Structure 1
């Protein structure tokens, strides 16, 4: 009989150098799932990353705080309880220029990978 479910109790903590917490619950790093990745993240106050043009759709749900999105030059801010879907092959920069950390969930289809994210040099 095949397994009917998987409970994730020990997500893969992605090593970072910018103070951001990334806990991948399902995805390439955790269970070699290349179809979808689901990660819990906390971006510290003042955090930002380079622009990227990923080959995956990314859904973000804000749990606490605020997160800024620069989507091909259009800047918007999402707050707790709001969510966004960004289509693949769209140039985007994520940041938290605010004074409080931002906690959120990110879902990528297909799964996040460094080979698909296409980050620009900062």
Structure 2
């Protein structure tokens, strides 16, 4: 009988140059394909990404710390225990302008790819 589950014991650690930890548990870079991606992330203090207009919905759940979102020009700050869904084709910037790490889970539908994120240059 075929197994109907996959246990992820070794997520793919995405190489970064900005100090952010990205452990993709399921998605295009790890076991899971293109339907969705699930990643555990830790953003260091004073971290930010350029604005982007992704071709996927992104759900974020904050585990600890705070994370700032600029969504269509509106600034939103989430704290531990809070979550947000940002719909595809929405201009967004993710950052941690605070003096503590932010740990969170991100889920993208369909899965995150660098080709579908459409980041602006910094």
Asked if Structure 1 and Structure 2 have the same fold, meaning a TM-score greater than 0.5 normalized by the shorter chain, the answer is: yes
Runs of 5+ consecutive residues of structure 1 not aligned to the other structure: none
Structure-2 residue corresponding to 1:57: 57
Is 2:27 aligned against 1:27? yes
Tell me the residue number matched to 2:4: 4
Deviation digits for residues 22-68 of structure 1, max 9, x if unmatched? 00000000025100000000000000000000000000000000000
Q: Does 1:67 align with 2:70?
A: no
TM-align CA RMSD: 0.7
- Between the aligned partners of 1:93 and 1:101, the Cα distance in structure 2 is 17
| Separation in 1, partners of 2:90, 2:3 | 37
TM-score, L = length of structure 2? 0.98
Q: Moved runs in structure 1, 4+ residues, more than 6 A? A: none
